[in-house]
Structure 1
Amino acid sequence: MYGAVAAVVELSLIVRRGEFLTILGPSGSGKTTALMMLAGFEAPTKGDILIAGKSVAAVPSYGRDQGIVFQNYALFPHLTVRRNLEFPLEMRGVKSRERAPLVERMLKRVHLDSFGERMPSQLSGGQQQRVALARALIADPPILLLDEPLGALDRNLREQMQGEIKGLHREFGKTTICVTHDQEEALTLSDRIVVMRGGRIEQLDAPEALYDRPVNRFVANFLGEANVLDTPELGYQKQNTLDKIPMVRPERIRISAVSALAPAKLDQCQTVTGTVEEMIYAGPLRKYQVRVGSTSLIVREHAASGQDVFAPGDSVRLDWLRADVRLLDE
């Protein structure tokens, strides 16, 4: 609770041993509060938190055996990289002669074995992130908590660090709980994803299932782009008896010239014609916005040589398999 506002409401979640679980949601969804309760920085007003069957709701953060990586890395600026890594071992009573080989091994694992004597201010953002991950892992905690771990990095470095985190998870097998608002990051890293809104869980599923079979309009729109097909001109209308909304993903729609050959599975397809409103070239992808009557549909296709490219004003045909249409709750 923050005053009269409940940041997290009726949150019930079981995390499997060794899995990488991501809590995903927009600002104010309650994802960070959920992580802070797991970390011991916030106390639940009711309910309990169990780790390996034991309650830790009243245990302070320093009493919980877990590693934490923050968005701003939270490295000690007055300590060298080596001393940053030694600190959690020292706090656990590991003797000096035993700390040194552990630190050297971890520095080598995160490709920083020649950076031990540098200060954090002398490192790049990606290098600081590696130090933060190494410090969280070095004491061998069973649980790793990541709070927007890649939020401060540029896109290329973020993608590189996603691979690094995935590799560390495979190698160390830690139960990892990550909070992010980045959908691509969640899909790339996770075994399962929790989508939150308004302090509640909207859906919990594996990445592919979550993207391909969202339960409602919010999840569909938050995790990618969704074309809602609830108008007769698209061949659909809202199924009022079930209160369901038909939806198709942009990459499931095929765009072609009106005069092009019909798709092979014509009897299994829905076909409409429309006018291109916009085309956005994004390197490997082209994204079209196509007006069909009163509705604007988004189409996304991989750019390839010999492919027809359409400009605003062009008449086009759109086809999609009826089997690719998903029925959503509001």
Structure 2
Amino acid sequence: MEHDALEQGPIPAQIEFRGVTKMYGAVSAVKDLSLSVPHGEFLTILGPSGSGKTTALMLLAGFVAPSKGDILISGKSVAAVPSFRRDQGIVFQSYALFPHLTVRRNLEFPLEMRGMVAIERAARIDRMLARVHLNDLGDRMPSQLSGGQQQRVALARALIADPPILLLDEPLGALDRNLREQMQGEIKSLHREFGKTTICVTHDQEEALTLSDRIVVMRAGQIEQADTPEALYDRPATRFVADFLGEANILENHDFEVEADVEQPFGSVAMIRPERIGIAAPTAPCRADADQRQSVTGTVEGMIYAGPLRKYQVRVGSSLLVVREQVASGGQIFRPDDAVRLDWLRSDVRIVAA
């Protein structure tokens, strides 16, 4: 009955992990994972190597079976449903295109498997090629395409059969930076247009922040924190999330007492993002809101120019703080050994679990 329900055509995508554990011998790759993904959401699972993020995706795809717990799609268990019957589009980091088939034939294959007649297949392929800007490349082999073009083919093949769920496994990992940024925009555009419930796995923080409606940060097989990109970045719950998602100054063991608008309980640390810290010459006028700020003095140890940003490393007593500021025309540039004053709003200090 469960198999029959999945074969009746597209169904609203509602994904649930209920206490899912995956063991490999004595090692738990995923431990007691509970997560719900509403229809149409773009969810990214983010984490370092060994965090369990890829295992979670493979469990949902049906490539591995849970040791404990259940996975539901639209309220129906799929734990016993094989991967090829789960009606999901999948894009791999390696693209996994059929090297002996043309672009058109790569797109046609999933439609043939579903029994679509030839004239309908041709019309759908034409529309999809136009949508991913590959109209003139349908007769080429994958080896004749650039990395970005292959990625577009892989996305088109995953979407062409109109599955309710799209799974992305490190989809942009094989591309250079410029292509990654272009493809991020393309993936966001495709998600807006098709509205697929999308689960993306990546270790790239910028990719996760750019693409996602919600991010799940995993650590050692468990969810460390799940929230919107803005909330995770601005209000991380733990030191691990603060360090992993972006860059963080952990304000502990410093030669100054940290001032914050909230009390710092035992077992926690104070944190501030580098872009929240102002940098100026010691003799520069104080800001108008100086009474709301904490100020310290230090010495520049290094400066990195990164196009629109300058990144400073500033020694404050025995500690090294990172400061990131936008490059402004006529703005003062500090060099190593320059004395500087750093300040930040006390309200920008976050207290996170150690």
TM-score (norm 2): 0.92
Task: Find out whether 1:222 has 2:244 as its counterpart.
Answer: yes
Q: Distance in 2 between matches of 1:144 and 1:241?
A: 42
The corresponding residue for 1:197 is 219
The corresponding residue for 1:179 is 201
Task: Find out whether 1:291 has 2:315 as its counterpart.
Answer: yes
Larger strand percent: 2
Task: Find out whether 1:78 has 2:100 as its counterpart.
Answer: yes
Cα shift at 1:228: 1.4
Counterpart selection for 2:80 from 53, 58, 66: 58
Q: Distance in 2 between matches of 1:229 and 1:100?
A: 60
The corresponding residue for 2:30 is 8
The corresponding residue for 1:276 is 300
What SS is found at the alignment partner of 2:174? coil
- CA deviation map 1:271-304 (0-9, x unaligned): 0000001000011110000000111000000111
Q: Distance in 2 between matches of 1:14 and 1:24?
A: 16
Counterpart selection for 1:165 from 176, 180, 187: 187
Task: Find out whether 1:302 has 2:302 as its counterpart.
Answer: no
Counterpart selection for 2:141 from 103, 106, 119: 119
Cα shift at 1:241: 4.2
Q: Distance in 1 between matches of 2:269 and 2:119?
A: 64
TM-score (norm 1): 0.98
Letter in 2 for 1:285: L
Counterpart selection for 1:68 from 90, 96, 117: 90
What SS is found at the alignment partner of 1:319? strand
Q: Distance in 1 between matches of 2:256 and 2:75?
A: 52
The corresponding residue for 2:10 is none
Percent identity for Structure 1 against Structure 2 = 75
Cα shift at 1:237: 8.2
Task: Find out whether 1:245 has 2:269 as its counterpart.
Answer: yes
Contact 1:235-1:270 within 8 A present in 2 as well = no
Counterpart selection for 2:54 from 22, 26, 32: 32
**Structural RMSD (CA):** 1.2
Letter in 2 for 1:91: M
Contact 1:231-1:237 within 8 A present in 2 as well = no
Q: What is the number of residues matched between the two proteins?
A: 330
What SS is found at the alignment partner of 1:7? strand
Cα shift at 1:240: 6.9
Contact 1:230-1:237 within 8 A present in 2 as well = no
- CA deviation map 1:104-132 (0-9, x unaligned): 00000000011110000000000000000
Task: Find out whether 1:104 has 2:126 as its counterpart.
Answer: yes
Letter in 2 for 1:312: P
- CA deviation map 1:18-73 (0-9, x unaligned): 01000000000000000000000010001000000000011111010110000000
What are structure 2's unaligned runs of at least 5 residues? 1-22
Task: Find out whether 1:22 has 2:19 as its counterpart.
Answer: no
Q: Distance in 2 between matches of 1:302 and 1:27?
A: 32
What SS is found at the alignment partner of 1:131? helix
Cα shift at 1:154: 0.1
What are structure 1's unaligned runs of at least 5 residues? none
Letter in 1 for 2:95: Y
Contact 1:24-1:179 within 8 A present in 2 as well = yes
